[in-house]
Amino acid sequence: MQSIMDIKEIIRNNGGFLRTKNLTRRNHWYQLQKLMRTNEIVKLKNGLYCAPTYGIAEQNREVAQIIPSGVFCLYSAWQRHGLTTQNPRQYHIAVKREERISAPDYPPVKIYRWSENFFNLGIMQDGNVKIYDLEKSVCDAVRFRNKVGIDIAIEVVKNYVKSENRNFDKLAKYASQMKIEKIMKNMIMPML
């Protein structure tokens, strides 16, 4: 039991994350596997684990402090807006194309470099973090449908159509600016 307490202490001291290089005792590995089976720890990627009880708001604030010019996008925005059932294993952050930023080891962050036109469209403030608004997030799903998967793009659009907060005029405006209005129309029309 002492090993489990050690692992939980390591996680607390590292802001909710655990790297395998922090495991110093042989029985830590066994306890780590046990904690993963009971869902007390989640594997984010090889060598990096997270406690699911570590607050999402705290993590979001941390990421926003690490990359202050970044905007939460794609999976991170879709999850925040309730547009997907996917639980991203990393934070998805957009920055301007010319900005030179590297992703930290943890929390795990995937950085997207977007042109200024796409980057500046639809940014909103959500507490201490910048995130793309509902309509921009839907447009991003359609725009990147080949990269994220058509099934995820359809899920995002379907959940948007069901949303009470939707604004089709704003969505059409963004789709036009992003040059995806025809694709957007073809995806939304069968769902109405």
Phi, psi of 44 (to 5 degrees): -90, -45
- 154 and 76, same domain (yes or no): yes
The DSSP code for 107 is: T
The residue segments making up the domain with residue 25 are 2-50
Residues 22 and 60 in one domain: no
Beta bridge partners of 94: 71, 112
Cα dihedral angle (37, 40, 44, 50), rounded to 10 degrees? -150
Task: At 158, list the tokens.
Answer: 């379907």
pLDDT at position 10, please?
A: 78
3-state secondary structure of 186: helix
Residue 147 identity (one-letter amino acid): K
* DSSP type of residue 191: G
Residue partners of 163: CB distance under 8 A and separation at least 6:
81, 82, 83, 134
Average pLDDT per consecutive 10 residues, the chain (192 residues; last block may be shorter): 68 76 78 82 76 65 86 95 88 94 80 95 92 98 96 96 95 97 94 82
Instruction: Count CB-CB contacts under 10 A for residue 174.
Output: 26
Residues 41 and 63 in one domain: no
On whether the pTM is more than 0.75, the answer is no
Q: Are residues 46 and 60 in the same domain?
A: no
Regarding whether 102 and 11 lie in a shared domain, the answer is: no
Q: Phi/psi of residue 138, each to 5°?
A: -65, -45
Count of domains in the chain? 2
Looking at the fold, whether 12 and 93 belong to one and the same domain comes out as: no
